[in-house]
Amino acid sequence: MKVDFATKERPKLSDPILICGLPGSALVGKVALDHLIATLPAALLAEIYCDGISPQVFVEEDGTVSMMKNEIYFWKASRSSKRDLILYTGDAQPSVSETEYALSEKIMDFARKEHGARDVITLGAYVTGTYTQSPQVYAAVTDATLSGKILSFGCKMMTEGAITGMNGLLLGVAKIKGMSGYALLGETSGYAIDPKASEALLAMISKITGISVDMKELEERAKEAQAILRTVESWRRQESEEESQQGEEKKPGYIT
């Protein structure tokens, strides 16, 4: 199992919070974290290459190729009342479970041992299969003592189910390593990229960290995506009605 870190900078961070958002259902966590990185803005801290990610390269506009990778960024707060951030995302999650575990441990050790992070927030999707205009944010926590705080911010607490992939695994590994925090999951149909769910996650991040996030660009993307999702939902209802009608037509009748 090979996981290589290519460190770009060595900043001195003050009590940073690690926030993770990797590609997953409807790209909810990934879009949220990418928007956060772009609007803060954050600086590149390290690139990560590992052998469990899908074996392919990206072809850039100039014809050159680049390896698929994960990236860690950092942001230093301008005021002492705010905590610094470490932001982790990537082109893809590993396709091999062994690499998911190994990479999760490496990320937590990097954030905790090298930069002093004690708290972590992971971002993902809460897939319902139904379109909603006002997505809720669901949460899971490393410790029951955090439940009251996250509920006070307006989250709904998960009480069953599982969080698959690294957006869940990262929080589990953090707990084992003595860190604390939340998994925040934006409610989504799961049918297409859902910036509205990502926007709900960022609004929650702002409440937790006290950091203001410019939502203008994401709001525009959300409007476009919602129009698409409404169309998809309409098609699904129409198909369901047609299938129901066909089923009724096929029912055997009485012979008199």
Give the total residue count for the chain: 256
Residue 254's CB is within 10 A of a number of other CB atoms, namely: 4
Return the SS3 of 17.
Answer: strand
Domain spans of the chain, in order of start: 3-245
| Cα-based angle 209, 18, 24 (whole degrees, multiple of 5) | 105
The residues pairing with 5 across neighbouring beta strands, listed in sequence order, are 48
Q: Where are the beta strands (DSSP E) in the chain?
A: 3-7, 17-20, 43-50, 57-59, 65-67, 70-75, 85-90, 119-127, 137-141, 156-157, 180-188
The pTM of the full predicted model, rounded to 2 decimals, is 0.86
Q: What is the pLDDT along the chain (256 residues), one digit of tens a residue?
A: 788 999 999 999 999 999 999 999 999 999 999 999 999 999 999 999 998 888 889 899 999 999 999 999 999 998 877 899 999 999 999 988 999 999 999 999 999 999 999 999 999 999 999 888 899 999 999 999 999 999 999 999 999 999 999 999 999 999 999 999 999 999 999 988 898 999 999 999 999 999 999 988 887 776 666 666 566 566 666 666 666 666 655 544 333 2
Specify whether the CB–CB gap between 186 and 200 falls below 8 A: yes
Architecture of the domain whose range is 3-245:
3-Layer(aba) Sandwich (3.40)
Element housing 185 (H / E) = strand 180-188
